[in-house]
A and B are shown apart, each in its own frame.
Chain A
């Protein structure tokens, strides 16, 4: 974390190596997070690129009050939302191969696939809150700032997302 602060300071001074380090650290987490909102890898790459470009162009305005990753995630989410508003993104559906694996593969993989399918049925905000809180480990305060919502809304949305997923899980098990 302290090392990251050093890289950010150096990046603000125009150190190219620092930009490269920030990219190396945050590209994968941002990509995998945004990947949950689209099955089109090219589309996800574009969001990641745009988020990094904005972050690097405006790194001088980053005050360090929040984590760099949460600032970057917010930029990535904004890019994603902008495109979602423009066009309806193709919903996540597992590939045939994945579906097959899901049918015959390990239980964990099945759980993953199901979870992702159900999550796709959630709206973007609920999905975002769920992943950010449950998977990425952000606090409600951070999520609230990241998504531009109230902290209490973040809690409510998470609760609703969990309840929805729980219902789907119960239904699946009753089959």
Chain B
């Protein structure tokens, strides 16, 4: 038996450059080493990026909601009340289009519905005029009272329509 160090000479061994060169070549040809490592790195970066974007988006939404709430709370009581009315009316108005479809099916009830819709239209016009006059900031008790009456009327009409089954919920 010959000892390897006796048999092989220094010239038989690869130098550091040669070792590195060979490894780089091997790395470039074996998907598990080169490309997979970079693709898994890219995938990880992508996931981190996505997670960061989601966190940032949630933080922005949170900040926006807080700011809006703070702004809302800073408003005087009558204005907040008025906003609540407007919001309630808008919600009702959203369901009103189904009235037309139902009216087509019952010709007799159609006249009543038309009347109610006309009333709603007039009330809405009065509300719009009054709001334009108050410009959302006029806190005159008289105008506020008038506005509340109009909203109240509108809600009543909508309530009647719901009870009569004219509005499908």
Contacts and interface: CB of A to CB of B under 8 A. Distances in A.
Interface of A: 14, 16, 19-20, 23, 27-28, 31-32, 35-36, 41, 45, 48-49, 52-53, 56-57, 98, 108-109, 112, 115, 131, 134-137
Interface string B18-34: 11011101100110110
B70 interface: no
A56 B26 contact: yes
B102 to A, nearest CB: 65
Contacts of A48: 14, 22
28 contacts: A16-B32, A16-B37, A19-B32, A23-B23, A23-B26, A27-B14, A27-B19, A27-B23, A31-B18, A32-B8, A32-B13, A35-B11, A35-B12, A36-B12, A45-B14, A45-B22, A48-B22, A49-B22, A49-B26, A49-B29, A52-B22, A53-B30, A98-B11, A108-B6, A112-B7, A112-B9, A135-B4, A136-B4
A135 B30 contact: no
A49 B6 contact: no
Contacts of B2: 134-135
A56 B7 contact: no
A137 B1 contact: yes
Interface residues of B, number: 25
Contacts of A49: 22, 25-26, 29
B114 interface: no
A16 B14 CA distance: 22
A28 B10 CA distance: 11
Contacts of B12: 31-32, 35-36
B32 A41 contact: no
B33 A31 contact: no
A45 B7 CA distance: 20
B13 to A, nearest CB: 6
Contacts of B22: 27, 45, 48-49, 52
